[in-house]
Amino acid sequence: MSDTSVRILDGNTFVVSDSNGDIEASLTDPTGLFSFDTRYLSRWILTVNGERLNPLSVDDLQYFEARFFLVPGTGTMYIDSKLSVIRRRAVGDGFHEELTIINHDEKPVDLTVRIDAASDFADLFEVKDALEKKGAYSASVLDGELVLGYERKTYKRQTAISASAPVKVDENGLTFEISLEPQQEWTTDLDVVTAISAGGRHVRPKYERGGRARPNMEQSLEKWLEDAPKLESDWDPLKVTYRRSLVDMAALRFSPPIAGGRSLPAAGLPWFMTMFGRDSIFTSLQALPFAPELAATTLLALGDWQGARTDDFRDEDPGRILHEMRYGEMTAFEERPHSPYYGCADATPLYVVLLDEYERWTGDRKLVQDLEREARAALNWIDEYADLKNNGYIWYQRRNEESGLENQCWKDSWDSISYRDGRIPGFPRATCELQGYAYDAKLRGARLARLVWQDAELAERLEMEAADLKRRFNRDYWVEDGEYFALGLDAEGGQIDALASNNGHLLWSGIVDKSKANAVARNLMGPRLFSGWGVRTLAKGEGRYNPIGYHVGTVWPFDSSFVAWGLRNYGFKDEAAQIAAGILDAADFFGGRLPEAFGGYERSQTKYPVEYPTACSPQAWSTGAPLLLLRTMLGLEPVGDNLIVDPALPEGIGALGLLDIPGRWGHVDAFGRERGPRQRLDSARTRKQLSVPSNGREAPAVTQQV
């Protein structure tokens, strides 16, 4: 896919085109109109008098809307056109395109305007793996519409294409014969409707001819921005990053078919616009101080899909929270297990963590009551189904050997879990952060059991188990000679002894003995893990370290944001601020939109963060990272009915305010300011970052009730 591709989307329907609005996809090329993991248009090419058009400019009006300004002729020719062509496209249940042609000439013109259309109905998985289709295609003209179809047994998908202006429709597209007087304008609406056919019917969208498609989306974006807390800072790039994060988070909202129209964060645009247990939970946690309703929907939807039986193909167990849901042909025919797939070992304990954190922010005990059964089932899964070695730890090993996931932790690439010397362990594996999440889930579950479920017995049991887990964990995972926690345990009970960022997640979960916290923080902030921008996924010097290896050396903003939260939880305020500074500085290089990951190169070596090449941007938990970092910088912590503010700002941010933070307290403002002499900034864009945190930058806490 070229860098000039234009993407617009609405939920899991999205269009990827080139910069003149055309779609010309091959099986392996991820352009087209996609909906529910299926490509509904692979060809959509506009010509005027047989000629392709040349883009003058593209307006990304909104995430769901784009406008292309075009002229006839290719890019190599001198442009002196007497015609303007404007395509305004909005995505909805398919897409709506308003095509306008203006004659600037003094003479009238006759034009043949042609749209070539076709679809390969590829499953997203097929686009990834370049697989052959097994069904039959059709194209027919019905009631003036072009209907493209694909059929494999009972599986039927259709694309219906229609125009508002007089048109000649054939099986390969639409032709308009038009005559334009001088300065005259011609326009037509084009509707491309995706349909999952059922019994010969296909569902029509709610477009009105001549009207703009889905103006309600724009309003909802405005309302979303209005409802979010307002940011004040003397460091301008932070404002840009904050706004970018909010807008991207709005785009990433996804209403799964069963959430009753409510939204939860999908994992990433455009290829991961679906429910992912882990990503949706982490992002909801990051966004809690800003948009707590995302957490509520995530909890409800994931609860609805919670595993209920044992199914090896889907790696499903009772109580397990899903990993990934897909709707395409390969999933439908069980060539892939994503209906949904459950092979993920962290989402289940994290589900309980999110439920508790949500209650602490919102005071919504009703949801905790409503989800009691789901939370109990999740807690039960930890002991009953995840402890594959029967020794009190969460282990993972896929049962679907063909298409299941080998690594069921967030670092899910094949080589992410290794020993210092680079060897890869066998299965099952018990990575360290899973034990931290289990510990946290038990303690938080105990709190909810006492507070809401009125079950003191369960609370006591969970607390005892948590204490026991913590004791064993600090013994079994502690790497003495390095003073950090091993990445995991192998099947023989030996330490998978590489040093990795997972240590920060352990601080976040609270499983780390106080006596060990200093050493862990030292490792996280030391030269092997901290790059100056953020925390490397795997430490420099380890056998598999590679600064551009997906999970073996790159810096993931999401990961670093949770490390910062962990450092704060153990009182390492300056260290947390330093990570916040590095990640937010990096965000400035990407126009406020953090990539999924960037290279683990030393900051002093590259001067700018080197983006890891990935097709997915924005990524939900990267979008959430600045939000969580705002929380950690301001030291926001709900305690009872109050929000505690305990700011620790990095050098160079003189003042930071977050106004109207929603929660059980109503709305509260939080402010932090640099104490001591103000740093002089070279320019508004430069925030001087020191490699060694200095003291005296904490500001007194200020809260005020609105």
Q: List residues binding another protein (CB under 8 A).
A: 152-156, 196-199, 257-258, 260, 304-306, 308-314, 316-317, 327-329, 331-334, 339-340, 370, 373, 384-385, 387-388, 390, 395, 397-399, 428
Residue number, 227 or 312, with CB nearest to another protein:
312
State how far the Cα of 618 lies from the Cα of 241, in Å rounded to an integer.
Answer: 13
Shortest reach from residue 192's CB to another protein, in Å: 21
Alpha helices in 526-637 (DSSP H): 557-569, 573-589, 603-606, 620-634
Q: Strand 13-17 to strand 38-41: parallel, antiparallel, or no bridges (unpaired)?
A: unpaired
Task: Classify residue 362 as left (phi > 0), alpha (psi -120 to 50) or beta.
Answer: alpha
Shortest reach from residue 332's CB to another protein, in Å: 4
Shortest reach from residue 134's CB to another protein, in Å: 12
State how far the Cα of 159 lies from the Cα of 145, in Å rounded to an integer.
Answer: 10
Shortest reach from residue 312's CB to another protein, in Å: 5
Residue number, 332 or 538, with CB nearest to another protein:
332
Is residue 620 a contact partner of residue 598, using CB atoms and an 8 Å limit? no
Task: List Cα–Cα distances, 252 to 8, 33, 245, 588, in angstroms.
Answer: 11, 17, 10, 21
Residue number, 75 or 199, with CB nearest to another protein:
199
State how far the Cα of 286 lies from the Cα of 605, in Å rounded to an integer.
Answer: 30
Shortest reach from residue 339's CB to another protein, in Å: 5
Q: Strand 13-17 to strand 185-196: parallel, antiparallel, or no bridges (unpaired)?
A: unpaired
Shortest reach from residue 288's CB to another protein, in Å: 23
The DSSP string of 439-507 is HHHHHHHHHHHHHTS--HHHHHHHHHHHHHHHHHHHHHSEETTTTEE-SEE-TTS-EE---BTHHHHHH
Shortest reach from residue 392's CB to another protein, in Å: 12
Residue number, 233 or 400, with CB nearest to another protein:
400
Residue number, 309 or 475, with CB nearest to another protein:
309
User: CB-based contacts of 15: which residues, under 8 Å, 6+ apart?
Assistant: 6, 7, 8, 9, 23, 32, 33, 34, 41, 89, 91, 95
Show the CA angle centred on residue 16, arms to residues 11 and 18, nearest 5°.
Answer: 155
Question: What b/e sequence results for 108-124 when a residue is b if at least 16 CB atoms lie within 10 Å of its CB, and e otherwise?
Answer: ebebebbbbbbbbbbbb
Shortest reach from residue 509's CB to another protein, in Å: 24
User: Which residues is 34 bridged to in the sheet?
Assistant: 14, 39
Residue number, 315 or 651, with CB nearest to another protein:
315
Shortest reach from residue 429's CB to another protein, in Å: 11
Q: How many angstroms from the chain centroid is the CA of residue 46?
A: 33
- By CB atoms closer than 10 A (0-12, 13-18, 19+), residue 105 is middle
Residue number, 314 or 568, with CB nearest to another protein:
314
The DSSP string of 495-537 is EE---BTHHHHHHHHT-S-HHHHHHHHHHHHSTTTB-SSSBBS
Task: List Cα–Cα distances, 441 to 150, 351, 669, in angstroms.
Answer: 46, 8, 30
Shortest reach from residue 259's CB to another protein, in Å: 8
Residue number, 334 or 641, with CB nearest to another protein:
334
CA Rg value for the chain: 27
Residue number, 335 or 660, with CB nearest to another protein:
335
Residue number, 260 or 527, with CB nearest to another protein:
260
State how far the Cα of 309 lies from the Cα of 316, in Å rounded to an integer.
Answer: 7
Residue number, 10 or 317, with CB nearest to another protein:
317
Residue number, 156 or 687, with CB nearest to another protein:
156
Residue number, 115 or 325, with CB nearest to another protein:
325
Among 295, 301, 336, smallest CA distance to 322 is for 301
State how far the Cα of 339 lies from the Cα of 85, in Å rounded to an integer.
Answer: 43
Provide the 10 A C-beta neighbour count for residue 334: 12
State how far the Cα of 444 lies from the Cα of 362, in Å rounded to an integer.
Answer: 15
Q: Strand 666-673 to strand 484-485: parallel, antiparallel, or no bridges (unpaired)?
A: unpaired
Residue number, 305 or 665, with CB nearest to another protein:
305
Shortest reach from residue 216's CB to another protein, in Å: 22
Shortest reach from residue 296's CB to another protein, in Å: 14
Shortest reach from residue 304's CB to another protein, in Å: 6
Shortest reach from residue 385's CB to another protein, in Å: 5
- Copy the structure tokens of residue 664: 């059980």
